[in-house]
Chain A
Amino acid sequence: MVEPSNGTKKNVSPSLVSNTGGIVSPNPFWLASAPPANSGGQVQRAFDAGWGGAVWKTLGQPIQNVSSRFGGMHAKGVRGVGFNNIELITDRPLETNFREIYDTKKKYPKHAVIVSLMVETREEWKDIIKRSIDTGADGLELNFGCPHGMCERGMGSAVGQEPKVNQEITSWAVEYSSIPVLVKLTPNVSDIRPHGMAAKRGGAHGVSLINTIKSIIGVDIDSFAIEPRVQNLGTNGGYCGQAVRPIALHMCASLAREEGFGLPISGIGGVCNWRDAVEFILLGSSSVQVCTEVMLRGYRIVEDMNEGLTQYMRDHGFATIDEMVGKAVPNYSEWGDLDLNYETIAKIDPDKCIGCNLCMTACHDGAHQCIHPASTKPGWDGKSRVPVVDESECVGCNLCQIVCPVSGCITMEEVPNGFAPATWNQHVETGAQLRPKKGAH
């Protein structure tokens, strides 16, 4: 779309309104059930900052937490690219939580407030669901995901890992609830699909994923303590933050394209900014939830998320979130359906190259030994450090492009080779002809 340049016309803004299984919010950005959504004061400040919804910190029988509780994974000078925690569900009295949810909903009728729940018996579920609905909340989220502390008590991921139990508890909740029910899935399973299907069979209106991943965030190599440390001991905790995003994206997409699934998804896991959110939406999420980045940088990150998403939608001609949801899902295919005759090679832009030779080392030690020193180029001027790609040997693996520190310096370019497209499945089924292998000698 063209920007008006006279400054007096308003741009037609795309609508950010999102709908996840009947839970409507002014934008798709929700606080995940976690410390940032622990209390009314916090959630209301978050709404003021621009968040569209919040999943309240999981309610159940209030617990007692340990100190300390969180661990950070710091990578190459950047703090907190990964994060883990060993805290449990809410430690505040239920009445206090319910009163604050009620107040919040009263003050922010257009925002989505979802109550996250985790209890044991059918009676307990019935009771807590009724009390949740009485607050005026917009939906429920069943926490079948917490991978520490609660699962040992037969809740959290203990439920999420057992499709039968998942289905049964979901069906109770749906039976008792007059508002939409989302099931929050645990990633601590080998395949997410049976668990999503179990929630569907139980009657859920949507799923949220992922909860945290079972992990040990680190070991203090001097004291031998497991982090985060509670006196001299530590335990496995739940891993989250930007480092988990690829795992979460995969699980989201796996369900989004699963035949017969079709439930709305609230995507969670490593969302830090609007780009991350766009990826989740394109892979099938109707809303996205954020925990770690808010814990590390605060509610104010949402200003950029709303603005960046709006700009993105305008640039791509999307008028609504619904138009975006799942746009990339059809492009997620099986390996056996990828075209084996499609060929790319690496090209180095000599004007951008800074001569670090990282690509050469990566290719030599980690790929196919086809990037060579500048000096091997015929007519080398004695100075240039731009390495040379042996295109006849390059297998198009991307490694050099990934390691290159200059953006846009190495590009992967398609080369026509005269072979008709042929996938492995076609090759096996019909004997479709494959191009000769490169670099395999």
Chain B
Amino acid sequence: MTESHTPRDPATPRAPLSADRAESIFTDYKPALTRDQAITEANRCLFCTDAPCVQACPTHIDIPQFIRKIATGNDEGSARTIFSSNILGMTCARVCPVEVLCVGDCVYNDKGEPPIQIGKLQRYATDLAFEKGTQFFEAGPDTGKSVGLVGAGPASLAAAHRLRRLGHRVTIYEKRRVVGGLNTTGVAPHKLRADASLEEVDWVLAIGGIDVRTGVSIGTDLSFEELEKRHDAVFVGAGLGADTLLDAPGSQLANIEGAVAWIERMKLEKLDVSGFQHCVVVGGGNTALDVVREARTLGIPKVTLLYRGHEAGMSGYEHEWESAKVQGVGAAWRLQPIGFEADVGAGKSVAGVKCVRLDETKKAIPGTEHVVPCDLVLLAIGQSTLGSLLASLPGVALEKGRVVTDEQGRTGRRGLFAGGDCRNGGKEVVNAVAEGDTAALAIDAYLKGNSHG
């Protein structure tokens, strides 16, 4: 497609990554397995039938089979098994919370022995395939049908790849000038850096025939109606919206920022944090637990997690909090921010979070107001939804901002499908991949006229 062909589609090319990104000082916190380690570990796997680890994986990778293939030295076959269920298997091997997914359900837990390190074995096999540049899949014979996908995150990438294997033409519209979605802009760099994410996107795109149009925001640069006109089916994988911010006195002060926005800057830009002495992160979810560690690693001397519940009540994973504590992150429990204090000098930057203590029922306890001094506040209290993007479309139902679909990813509108964070309200990369893949199969059935869509 050319610009003249698409007058209202001002695509701008993908932006290269800058070399001095703040994230580049991060190293893998779970180092790769050596060949010996991988083979020893692979030989421990029992090759279970109807394995609980497979059931726990949203993309249902045949884990015993890929592990056995590592044990026999069939490394390429191992990667093929992984990628045929999960095309972002390289990322997932690094970013999946395996402790609560496959590894958490490995039968060895019940035997009282260390569970199989499935994520590390998956990384072993997928890294080898990446090093060799092996491509396992090819595009199916052209069906003449075309699908437009909104967003270039994990959900759309998985859907696009599956659709290409099935022979459909695919165009991805991405509002940013970088692709990969939160894999590139959000995931903690000690798990996956932006360059690795982009490398993976290129590998996925190598199947050929996926047109990626960056710098095009659907709803702004190109209307939904126009999108639907251009394509035979549309998949929405737009993720979530911007950070939720606190509407409290002083919230306009400098150095108060949404955590996801700050992480994006850290991952894509040079970020000077040398002046900060104490960073307060508000929240108790996984974004909060990522950002406290990131702030510490970048060198902020004191980092405090400020949460309105108690330690055990955090929605973030226990294993992530344990790692954060090891990095010297402190915590303040049962505190509700009610405002921000300005610095005494210019009065423009934040100098403290005004808090009130909460009781068991999360009610403020009068007389407990106090200020936690700090010079950087990162708000990790949630992301807004992008539901409004679709709100005007007849037939599309929203629930708390999430796009409502059936199990296959079909919305109530003909030819419109959705998956990933915008559908599930914000889960993991692997859920987005699973939903994108499932929706692609539903789209295929729809395009072949086997389903109402």
Contacts and interface: CB of A to CB of B under 8 A. Distances in A.
Interface of A: 3-10, 78, 273-275, 297-298, 300-301, 303-304, 307-308, 311, 406-407
Interface string B62-92: 0001001101111011001000000000000
A311 B76 contact: yes
Residue of A7, A298, A311 with most partner-chain B CB within 10 A: A7
Given A10-B138, A298-B49, A311-B76, A304 B69 contact: yes
Nearest to B206: A7
B135 interface: yes
A304 B77 contact: yes
B47 interface: yes
Given A273-B72, A304-B77, A7 B65 contact: no
A5 B135 CA distance: 6
Interface in B76-126: 76-77, 80
B170 to A, nearest CB: 14
B427 interface: no
A308 B136 CA distance: 15
14 contacts: A3-B135, A5-B133, A7-B135, A7-B137, A7-B206, A8-B138, A9-B138, A273-B72, A300-B65, A301-B68, A304-B69, A304-B72, A304-B74, A406-B36
Contacts of B135: 3-7
Given A298-B49, A308-B77, A6 B72 contact: no
Interface string B145-169: 0000000000000000000000000
A324 to B, nearest CB: 17
Contacts of A303: 65, 77
Given A274-B74, A303-B65, A304-B72, A6 B36 contact: no
B448 interface: no
A304 to B, nearest CB: 5
B178 to A, nearest CB: 23
A33 B146 CA distance: 52
Nearest to B49: A298
Contacts of A298: 47, 49
A358 B207 CA distance: 49
B426 interface: no
Contact of B72 (A4, A8, A275): A275
B208 A3 contact: no
Residue of A5, A10, A304 with most partner-chain B CB within 10 A: A304
A304 B69 CA distance: 6
A214 B452 CA distance: 65
A307 B136 CA distance: 13
A274 B76 CA distance: 14
B325 interface: no
Contacts of B80: 307
B132 interface: yes
A273 B77 CA distance: 13
A8 B208 contact: yes
B14 to A, nearest CB: 19
Nearest to A310: B77
Contacts of A407: 35-36
A367 B69 CA distance: 36
Nearest to B64: A300
A308 B74 contact: yes
Q: Give the size category of B's interface with A.
A: 20 to 34
B88 to A, nearest CB: 16
Given A7-B135, A303-B65, A308 B73 contact: yes
Nearest to B138: A8
B139 A304 contact: no
Contacts of B206: 5-7
Contacts of B208: 6-8
Interface in B293-330: none
Interface string B31-71: 00001100000010001010000000000000001001101
- CB-CB nearest 9 A-B residue pairs: A7-B135, A308-B74, A307-B77, A273-B72, A7-B206, A7-B207, A8-B138, A304-B69, A5-B133
Contacts of A301: 68
A435 B322 CA distance: 64
Contacts of B72: 273-275, 304, 308
Nearest to A407: B36
Contact of A311 (B65, B77, B137): B77
A10 to B, nearest CB: 7
Contacts of B69: 304, 307-308
B388 interface: no
Contacts of B220: none
B322 to A, nearest CB: 29
A204 to B, nearest CB: 33
A275 B35 CA distance: 17
Contacts of B223: none
Residue of B68, B73, B74 with most partner-chain A CB within 10 A: B74
B134 interface: yes
B36 A304 contact: no
A80 to B, nearest CB: 12
A330 to B, nearest CB: 25
A50 B71 CA distance: 20
Nearest to B36: A407
A311 B68 contact: no
A300 to B, nearest CB: 7
Contacts of A9: 138
B133 A275 contact: no
Contacts of A297: 47
A239 to B, nearest CB: 22
A303 B65 CA distance: 8
Nearest to B78: A304
A412 to B, nearest CB: 19
A170 B72 CA distance: 38
A6 B69 CA distance: 25
Contacts of A308: 69, 72-74, 77
Contact of B133 (A3, A8, A304): A3
A63 B153 CA distance: 63
B81 to A, nearest CB: 8
A12 to B, nearest CB: 14
Given A3-B132, A274-B72, 18 more contacts: A5-B206, A6-B135, A6-B208, A7-B139, A7-B208, A9-B138, A273-B71, A300-B65, A301-B68, A303-B65, A304-B68, A304-B69, A307-B77, A307-B80, A308-B77, A311-B77, A407-B35, A407-B36
A300 B65 CA distance: 8
A5 B35 CA distance: 24
A301 to B, nearest CB: 7
A6 B76 CA distance: 17
A96 to B, nearest CB: 27
A303 B74 CA distance: 11
Nearest to A307: B77
Nearest to B71: A273
A10 B139 CA distance: 11
Nearest to B139: A8
A304 B65 contact: yes
Interface string B196-219: 000000000011100000000000
A362 to B, nearest CB: 19
Contacts of A8: 138-139, 207-208
A302 B68 CA distance: 11
A7 B134 CA distance: 8
A4 B138 CA distance: 11
